[in-house]
Structure 1
Amino acid sequence: MPGNARLGLRFSTREEALLDDLDALLAAGGSTALLAVRNGRVVFERGHHAHRSSVASVRKSLIGILYGIAIEAGEIDLDATLEDLGIDDLSPLTPEEKQATIADLLKSRSGIYHPCVYGMEPGRPARGSHPPGTFWYYNNWDFNVLGTIYRQETGRTLAEAFQKLVAEPLEMQDFAAEDIFDVPGPESLHPVYKMRLSDRDLARIGHLFLKRGLWEQRRIVPEQWVEDSTTAWSALGGGRGYGYLWWTAEANALGDSLSIDVPIFYASGAGGQYIIVIAALDLVVVHRAADVRNGIIHARMGEILRALLRVIG
């Protein structure tokens, strides 16, 4: 159902009411675009779909795509430790911390609680409180270091890699290489990598994962990598989980306000940046809030998602 669906068309009172409910949620503040794609066809749209803005932490799921391709090509070893890779930081890592593997970083289970650029200071565990691989903590140190390791091991910047390996094969309409860039800081040797994309280009990522790494019958990402990325390696309680840089929610997961009556997996960023994949419905949903600081909370996204499903059936 396109964004101008009411123009010249007749709807039942119930259908009008459902559309009104969804539009009211989107108009309540923060939302700038909502796009739903079923089996490659747009079934609902609102907002400005070509506008490129910060994807916030969705960036983590996107770098995961590059890792899957590089691991398949033999450029990166999932089991390599930070010691193997020569990774350190301003406050030197301990011998135990250096035993964290790339897989631990992808799962956010490194056990390394060094200050980081764009760090989450409140609630950060003490250094040395958890050995590598034993404890899940959503840790920007892990995510930032993945950027460093990718550049080091492949010899490519994230921008050139994403453009060549993802944007071009997926025929992205709005992507520009300058929309991926590093931001250094005094806290750590490892910069944060930032990304800007449009929601219609993010929908392509969702469709790629919906189709298990295929794009128009061409293999872009290894199927096993999609499976591993969207497997809940860490159970976070109430049916919510974390894979390789993607979130998961079981059907009717009490611990995740985004959950619905079938399983989902999704990429999530601050302020309301989402790629939601609902395989049981052959559906990808993208939500954007161009102003990350004035977006929506996770619970509101759940309300929007459920209202959207009522509209599109």
Structure 2
Amino acid sequence: MRLILCLVLSLVAAAQAGAEPAEQWLKADETAMTRTISGLVQVYSIREKPTALMVVEGDKIIASWGALDRKINVASVRKSLLSALYGIAIAEHRISLTSTLADLRIDDKKPSLNEAEKQATVRDLLTSRSGIYHLAAHETREIKSNRPARGSHAPGTYWFYNNWDFNALGAIYRKETGEDIFASFATRIARPIGMEDFSKRDGRYAFEKVSVYPAYPFQLTARDAARFGLLFANGGRWNGRQVIPAAWVRESTWAHARTNRGNRGYGYMWWELSSEPWGRGGAYAAGFGGQIIAFLPAKKLVLVQTVDLRANPKGIRTSAVIELMKEIAAALPE
């Protein structure tokens, strides 16, 4: 009786852990459903011209397009990658969400931060609500033209997609943990989940004269990005190991702020996917030009897209990828 109970508990634990791919991704068996989704991906890819697109259900590829092993600068997807590292560091009590910039002795080039700005917390930066509108590295034209005036909003009161917040978070991570971002990602996430291509050499620090805090662009292949998406779809677990705390997976992908971008929800450097039509718990990481890692736990679905802007300089709208996801989700069994 005890043996049977242990077996049952083992099976339950395995089911809860979710499915992970083998050392290399395998394709799902061909069915009417996979043919339908492959057709959707083909039509979309011919029209939009991604470098790579990969759709995963459970631990298998159900459709793909392009060069899945080609490394691409995934732009602002970097922010969600760093958010995952924050979840680990906070669980290990090396960083606190409630620490202020004053506590952490964070400042910047002149015009320096004032005392009110230094009351912004790590949580404020993670949700892009610091109220600090200092110039920053890797800003887009849209950010530059729409940046509010310094002192116009108190910390924690107003959402603005702000590269200063994201870049400062990179510096805080390095300062408080004593770890390089890319080496940390390779050791703490990429290696445990079996990424095939990523190494710490696939990141760099991009400095600009306007700020002491660099951006930290990452290069990823689609097949490695899909493992990261699947890790979140599985609640941070991989082969029975809790790589990222489950509580952080939930908290970081919830909407902590409503944005000025179609009232979309923003978490801790993740974009929320509303519950319709694909169930609760979904989120996506998005980067300029159409870089995306999206996961839908209720559908056991992960979708990844990379776009080389040298080959496709116009890029791909995020809304186009979301529409494809809706079509794919509708084709999956209930």
TM-score (norm 1): 0.89
Among residues 248, 252, 258, which one is paired with 2:272 in the alignment?
Answer: 248
Residue in 1 aligned with 2:7?
none
**Contact 2:27–2:61, Cα closer than 8 Å, also in 1:** no
**Contact 2:202–2:220, Cα closer than 8 Å, also in 1:** yes
Among residues 270, 276, 297, which one is paired with 2:317 in the alignment?
Answer: 297
Among residues 24, 27, 33, which one is paired with 2:43 in the alignment?
Answer: 24
AA aligned to 1:80 is: S
SS of the equivalent of 1:129 reads coil
AA aligned to 2:321 is: M
1:78-89 pair list within 5 angstroms: 78-89=97-108
Residue in 2 aligned with 1:286?
304
AA aligned to 1:128 is: G
**Is the counterpart of residue 153 in structure 1 residue 171 in structure 2?**
no
**Contact 1:239–1:249, Cα closer than 8 Å, also in 2:** no
AA aligned to 2:279 is: V
AA aligned to 2:283 is: F
**Is the counterpart of residue 35 in structure 1 residue 54 in structure 2?**
yes
User: Structure 1 residues 311, 47: CA separation in 2 closer, same or farther (over 3 Å shift)?
Assistant: farther
In the alignment of these two chains, the number of paired residues is 300
User: Structure 1 residues 219, 20: CA separation in 2 closer, same or farther (over 3 Å shift)?
Assistant: closer
**Contact 1:30–1:294, Cα closer than 8 Å, also in 2:** no
Whole-angstrom CA distance in 1 between matches of 2:279 and 2:71: 31
Whole-angstrom CA distance in 2 between matches of 1:249 and 1:176: 30
After TM superposition, the structure 1 stretch with the greater mean CA deviation from structure 2, 260-269 or 119-128, is: 260-269
**Contact 1:3–1:45, Cα closer than 8 Å, also in 2:** no
1:112 Cα offset (Å):
0.2
User: Structure 1 residues 124, 18: CA separation in 2 closer, same or farther (over 3 Å shift)?
Assistant: same
Whole-angstrom CA distance in 2 between matches of 1:4 and 1:72: 36
**Is the counterpart of residue 222 in structure 1 residue 245 in structure 2?**
yes
Q: In the TM superposition, what whole-angstrom CA distance separates every residue of 1:132-158 from its partner, at most 9, and x where no partner exists? A: 011111100000001110111111111
In structure 2, the gaps of 5 or more residues are 1-25
Q: In the TM superposition, what whole-angstrom CA distance separates every residue of 1:186-214 from its partner, at most 9, and x where no partner exists? A: 11110111100111111111111111110
**Contact 1:78–1:101, Cα closer than 8 Å, also in 2:** yes
**Is the counterpart of residue 98 in structure 1 residue 118 in structure 2?**
yes
Whole-angstrom CA distance in 1 between matches of 2:150 and 2:263: 29
SS of the equivalent of 1:121 reads helix
Whole-angstrom CA distance in 2 between matches of 1:69 and 1:15: 36
What RMSD in Å do the two structures reach over aligned CA positions? Answer: 2.3
**Contact 2:41–2:63, Cα closer than 8 Å, also in 1:** no
Among residues 226, 230, 234, which one is paired with 1:211 in the alignment?
Answer: 234
SS of the equivalent of 2:215 reads strand
AA aligned to 1:271 is: G
Whole-angstrom CA distance in 1 between matches of 2:36 and 2:83: 40
AA aligned to 2:52 is: A
Whole-angstrom CA distance in 2 between matches of 1:310 and 1:249: 15
1:24 Cα offset (Å):
2.2
SS of the equivalent of 1:184 reads strand
1:279 Cα offset (Å):
1.2
SS of the equivalent of 2:285 reads strand
Residue in 2 aligned with 1:63?
82
AA aligned to 1:70 is: A
Whole-angstrom CA distance in 2 between matches of 1:15 and 1:163: 32
Whole-angstrom CA distance in 2 between matches of 1:241 and 1:195: 24
TM-score (norm 2): 0.84
**Contact 1:267–1:276, Cα closer than 8 Å, also in 2:** yes
SS of the equivalent of 2:216 reads strand
**Is the counterpart of residue 72 in structure 1 residue 96 in structure 2?**
no
1:18 Cα offset (Å):
6.7
Whole-angstrom CA distance in 1 between matches of 2:165 and 2:103: 16
**Is the counterpart of residue 270 in structure 1 residue 270 in structure 2?**
no
Among residues 197, 216, 220, which one is paired with 1:193 in the alignment?
Answer: 216
User: Structure 1 residues 239, 115: CA separation in 2 closer, same or farther (over 3 Å shift)?
Assistant: closer
**Is the counterpart of residue 166 in structure 1 residue 189 in structure 2?**
yes
Residue in 2 aligned with 1:52?
71
User: Structure 1 residues 21, 213: CA separation in 2 closer, same or farther (over 3 Å shift)?
Assistant: closer
**Contact 2:41–2:65, Cα closer than 8 Å, also in 1:** no
In structure 1, the gaps of 5 or more residues are 253-259
User: Structure 1 residues 312, 141: CA separation in 2 closer, same or farther (over 3 Å shift)?
Assistant: same
AA aligned to 1:122 is: S
Q: In the TM superposition, what whole-angstrom CA distance separates every residue of 1:139-188 from its partner, at most 9, and x where no partner exists? A: 00000001110111111111111111011111110102111110100111
Whole-angstrom CA distance in 2 between matches of 1:235 and 1:186: 32
Q: In the TM superposition, what whole-angstrom CA distance separates every residue of 1:13-50 from its partner, at most 9, and x where no partner exists? A: x9978754542221113312111111212211121111
Whole-angstrom CA distance in 2 between matches of 1:86 and 1:178: 29
